[in-house]
Structure 1
């Protein structure tokens, strides 16, 4: 028997994957604290994490562990080197949420560009035409910068091009020839690209190199009246610098699915700014997206335990080369 611990219950599409395996002893928790999480995984063969941290302490608490599967494609809650040292596979659900997140990024962009939320509130509050005018903008003909050209960024770039925008892409891990062949401009210097962009959409992973990528200097470099969209990770953006850029009017607005501190704290100044649209880290959480993530995340665990891990789903495929 394999013991598998889930940080919380999966959608039925994922639970069905485990239900079909009589050799799996499934333990389902409900947002456990650190002590409860460590206690549950001490004899686990596999875990499926939501917000639970798989840091070095958690890895040490689970001597039998062979696989850590993340719901979705982000893995900043997993200390990958600690897992790699132990030969523990770190798995992500590649291809499960790119469509959902890309659509959500466009929703946030349109909501800011057309001031959908504050105008909706104005009308529902008894008003009609806002006293200061609508102050909306078209997307067609404007320049967009997509930062990060993975599955999500690639989709977003295509969607923006469909809106007849001039799309530039910045990603040091992709050849400029590939980006140009896909029909976009390839850029290499962030601040130079920011100065030309009316819209900046972030799709890069969180890493030491991207932490506070959008800081005070980056916002100063941005074209006045620009729009920022972040569906990546909150700490990619310095919240203090973003608030300053929004309050000063340097930015038209921001659409955010992620914040530097989540959930949003009551005193967060972003919550009171009318030119900000915020969703609760929910871009991937459509019905279809959650089903895809649940199925792939569950199957990733079984594949590793069965000795047939899919390298394309692994964060640390180098462990497969070990004897």
Structure 2
């Protein structure tokens, strides 16, 4: 093998050190690390020679000039692949990558168990009013337990928006463990596919009306941005809970605040935010019936290692000329194949 003729870089952090271990075991691959603060005379040569960019999925943790947009792509003429650390790809302008002939891949499914368990934990904590009980015990004497009466989750209805890897796992847990009815809205899947994943296919409005728990599990795209707003919250039942472990900007935070303040819904479990992490004074953090976490649903030791491993293997497979299994923009394949052949002298499979 030619030493270091395949160039990969990342900025600030990887999902797990195993990613670097796997790549560094290959003598034909060079892995470069940059920092948000790296000077242009440091990062410009790395971008210019890079074939692959392993990009952090958390948009607010990555300096804007390192987001995979048109300007960065102009500085990286040899770039073939942008690979996100996780299932999300917020800092990636997919259209700009497609226009430049750059393949975009993610690590969907790598953290599905962790995120699904987090969503289920939020549902149980809110329904049993565990979070309110915990807070009251810490600040009040002689708490009356009857004031904290909750509800069973068994037999209730969960509505899943986006029944991909995470949504499918939530459906399995809710149906199998808790005997819940599962509804799903996913415009990219057929009725038969949704049924095979354990759910009844419904339209979004119907899901919002009928669900005791609404769980958001779709990626942030042009179609899903702002999908859940004042109108959608107004359709929910007063005893229902809104849960999201997906991405900020899919739901309207001001509209959710209004729904909670006016008691139109029973509460919310929020793992994702428009700005991450949210400041302590954020309006949604002032409600006792809001359970909050700072985008940690997929942050477990098991998920991080799994995503690091599959990300490394996917990059190596792609650089070896194989077709990656988790492509976001498959329409770019013909152009990408031509660019790959020019770079390495072989056409990818």
TM-score normalised to the size of structure 2?
Answer: 0.85
Aligned to 2:334: 321
Query: For 2:249, what is the secondary structure of its paired residue?
Result: helix
CA offsets 1:248-304 (integer angstroms, 9 cap, x no match):
111111111101222213431011111111111111111010001111122222222
**1:90 aligned counterpart, secondary structure:** strand
Aligned residue among 295, 299, 312 for 2:313: 299
**8 Å CA contact 1:119, 1:130 repeated in 2:** no
Inter-partner Cα distance in structure 1 for 2:83 and 2:21: 16
Distance 1:280 1:317, change over 3 A: same
Are 1:178 and 2:193 an aligned pair?
A: yes
1:254 maps to 268
Separation of aligned partners in 1, 2:41 and 2:279: 25
Give per-residue Cα distances to partners, 1:149-188, cap 9 Å, x unaligned: 1111111111111211111111111111232344422112
Alignment of 1:127-206 (within 5 A): 127=141, 129-130=143-144, 133-162=147-176, 163-188=178-203, 190-206=204-220
107-116 or 216-225: bigger deviation: 107-116
Q: Which runs of 5+ in 1 are unaligned?
A: none
Partner residue of 1:7 out of 5, 8, 11:
11
- Alignment CA distance shift 1:57-1:37 (3 Å): farther
Structure 2 residue 38 is matched with structure 1 residue 29: no
CA shift in 2, pair 1:168/1:317, >3 Å: same
Partner of 1:308: 322
Contact in 2 for aligned 1:96/1:292 (Cα 8 Å) = yes
Q: CA deviation at 1:34?
A: 9.6
Which ranges in structure 2 are unaligned for 5 or more consecutive residues? 339-349
For the pair 1:91 / 2:97, whether they are aligned, the reply is no
**Which position in structure 2 is the counterpart of 1:242?**
256
Q: CA deviation at 1:305?
A: 2.0
| In 2, Cα distance between equivalents of 1:256 and 1:246 | 13
Distance 1:4 1:130, change over 3 A: farther
Q: Note the 1:33-48 alignment, pairs <5 A.
A: 39=44, 40-48=46-54
1:20 aligns with 2:35: no
Contact 2:48–2:77 (CA under 8 A) maintained in structure 1: yes
Match for residue 123 of structure 1? 137
CA pair 101-128 structure 1, distance change in 2 beyond 3 A: farther
Contact 1:143 1:197 in 2 (8 A): yes
CA 1:233–1:33 in structure 2 vs 1: closer, same or farther (change >3 Å)?
farther
Q: How many residues align?
A: 321
Tell me if structure 1 keeps the 8 A contact 2:272–2:295. yes
Q: Deviations over 1:204-226 (max 9, x none)?
A: 11122211111001111111121
CA distance in 2, matches of 1:257, 1:138: 22
CA, structure 1 residues 298+280, in 2 after alignment: closer, same or farther (shift >3 Å)?
same
- How large is the Cα RMSD of the aligned pairs? 2.1
The CA deviation at 1:33 is 7.3
* Distance in 1, Cα, partners of 2:209 & 2:225: 20
Match of 1:69 among 77, 80, 83: 83
